[in-house]
Amino acid sequence: MTERIVLAYSGGLDTSVAIGWIGEATGAEVIAVAVDVGQGGESLEDIRQRALACGAVEAYVADARDEFANEYAMPTLKANALYQGHYPLVSAISRPVIVKHLVKAAREFGATTVAHGCTGKGNDQVRFEVGIQTLGPDLKCIAPVRDLALTRDKAIAFAEAKGLPIETTKKNPYSIDQNVWGRAVETGYLEDIWNAPTKDIYDYTATPEFPPAPDEVVISFHQGVPVAIDGVKVSPLQAIQELNRRAGAQGVGRIDVVEDRLVGIKSREIYEAPGAMALITAHKHLEDITIEREQARFKATVSQRWAELVYDGQWFSPLKRSLDAFIEDTQKYVSGDIRMTMHGGQAIVNGRRSETSLYDFDLATYDTGDTFDQSQAKGFIELWGMSSKVASSRDQRVLGQ
């Protein structure tokens, strides 16, 4: 039986050429796998037909938008996950769901190898291959660009020679990856980190310098998940899409950062994540009134480690699974409403309410009705500072000799 290889297929030049390139280099049949995670553009059926026209023996396509929103974006939201304090893991969280479908297709079509279009320089090769090794330990991995010398000039020449139904003349100066959670742009003149981004880079967000009138929105959560916007019930996918539209119109969610890649180099990245950043902002403010202080402090540490694991391609790791359990437990009381005004590139929370809030007005107020017993503060301060006071006395005694 002829060996079969499953290929992560986007429908673009490189992966379209990779179908025939892999076949010629290995003698294997290629099954193209396209997964819709809300990246927009062509329909899955158009992509499927192109894959077949480019030589794939089978084409597996999956509408994974709700799956991606529910099982990947929502855990990211619950974690308030921002890699290095900036990046909402736009590409990093899409790779595990694609990996899941690649392995599923490999089982369905009897493939022994999984291929992806990543280079040897980035994070995604790690995310794909670690995920594939975890879900399908018996499967092999190849990367045509990295392992089979498929460069862009060779891809264009191959496509023209074979008459493949793919555009080969235009070269976008940027590398772009996008899904419903956000959009990532890199390479080209952005590699000079002194160069400012130009307006043509952006697609999900309007320029914040000339915004429309302020947009006030009320986002309702149940156990950490958005369930309504302005009183209208929404699914997680609908919540992200609606806030992509409204926050994007206000220029919210533009990020320009130099980040530490897993492979050891620093890389300049431009991100647009209007819905993600608006939701993370709202969710964090709701946690501020519903999560106990020590639990919240520890969750911040867990969230940072969670983001690092996901960025580093460890979505399916035991540690990430354990951190998931802790984060999920913290969300038990994260229910309520957040009112937010979006305008000029900012999303500012100006109201919060929750039936499970830990905020006690009678304890917090300085006006009549204050129930806080201030007489207890003096003794508390004495005990709280006792260890530092004793240590300071020791230091002065010893150092003063």
- Catalytic (active-site) positions: 14, 95, 124, 175
Q: Which residues are annotated as a binding site for L-citrulline?
A: 87, 123, 127, 175, 259, 271
DSSP 8-class letter at 163: T
Phi, psi of 359 (to 5 degrees): -75, 120
CB atoms within 10 A of CB 236: 21
Burial of 104 (0-12, 13-18, 19+ CB in 10 A): middle
Rounded distance between C-alpha atoms, residue 356 and residue 330, angstroms? 13
Rounded distance between C-alpha atoms, residue 325 and residue 299, angstroms? 12
DSSP 8-class letter at 197: P
Angle between helices 44-53 and 13-26 (to 10 degrees): 40
Q: What separation in angstroms does the CA of 369 have from each of 360, 362, 364?
A: 12, 6, 10
Q: Which residue has the tokens 């090769």?
A: 125
Helix (H) or strand (E) holding 299: helix 293-311
CB atoms within 10 A of CB 395: 10
Residue 76: name the closest of 268, 206, 225, 285 by CA: 225
Compute the Cα dihedral for 183, 186, 189, 191 and give only its sign.
positive
Q: Which residues are annotated as a binding site for L-aspartate?
A: 119, 123-124
Compute the Cα dihedral for 372, 378, 379, 385 and give only its sign.
positive
Residue 9: name the closest of 142, 117, 112, 106 by CA: 117
Q: Which residues are annotated as a binding site?
A: 8-16, 87, 117, 119, 123-124, 127, 175, 259, 271
Tell me which amino acid residue 284 is. K
Q: Which residues are annotated as a binding site for ATP?
A: 8-16, 117
Q: Give all strands of the β-sheet with 225-229 in edge-to-edge order.
A: 232-233, 225-229, 215-222, 336-343, 346-353
